[in-house]
Chain A
């Protein structure tokens, strides 16, 4: 499935993602990592650690609705894979991100910005394995 190259929307959206990360550091002094936020809710360690994460998730989930109100359409979301692949991929994402202590937001955005050595190793690792996986599934197995 072809998609349209969107350099300006992607750069602007990326800048807002960064602004979110900066605002969280400014207000609460925390790294914005989606894996950490999710696992902090699933395995909550007390009310203080739970409440700000839940508030953040609520804000995040409201975003597509706000965009719909402002523009009259939902953000594009095309899922060209089967439910089985979503489940298998999801379990591997959860396992990998918790073992590796971060994902695209924690290691990618925040870790690289902090010049964290671990993130500088983690990000190329997951970018390469993702590209190899997409190559294999699309061009070798033809999923």
Chain B
């Protein structure tokens, strides 16, 4: 039951990604291309997502525990370090080069386009590059 629920959650997220235009690299490039063919659509994606999540999280946190047990787990670090800033800066560079981000590419895999699969394999390669730089015990949990 928990896994069916997780699958439906993924489906809702994926439909949102598809409808929003996030899985279309042409639209991603145009969102960032302020000096060229600017398309501000993706600001609306982020706006819609944050409004719903901001309000929804606060409703959900009125509960003591999640529906399927356990606890509400979230990162509570407040450390601003070189890893956070450098990693985020790099992430933006990669997003600006390829036009896909992981959350858009996973649902986009369902279109059957080879470019998406190539991107996700490359992202996985990037995870391994990171592991080679730092020992596993230093590997922080990702958000």
Contacts and interface: CB of A to CB of B under 8 A. Distances in A.
B9 A3 contact: no
Contacts of B65: 29
Contacts of B59: 22
Interface in B2-58: 2-27, 29-30, 32-37, 39-42, 44-54, 56-57
Given A75-B24, A134-B96, A93 B101 contact: yes
Query: What size tier do the contact residues of chain A reach?
Result: 35 or more
Given A58-B7, A87-B118, A134-B33, A33 B143 contact: yes
Contact of B92 (A14, A25, A85, A125): A125
A139 B143 contact: no
A31 B76 CA distance: 12
Nearest to B30: A3
Contact of A77 (B23, B75, B94): B23
A10 to B, nearest CB: 4
Query: What size tier do the contact residues of chain B reach?
Result: 35 or more
B23 A75 contact: yes
Contact of B24 (A38, A62, A77): A77
A11 B119 CA distance: 26
B20 A17 contact: yes
A102 B88 CA distance: 8
A56 B72 CA distance: 18
Contacts of B52: 14-15, 17-19, 21-22
B69 to A, nearest CB: 8
B25 A80 contact: yes
A2 B30 contact: yes
B57 A122 contact: no
B13 A92 contact: no
A21 B13 CA distance: 7
A93 B94 contact: yes
A52 to B, nearest CB: 4
9 contacts: A7-B41, A21-B13, A56-B7, A61-B106, A64-B14, A86-B100, A89-B99, A100-B84, A126-B95
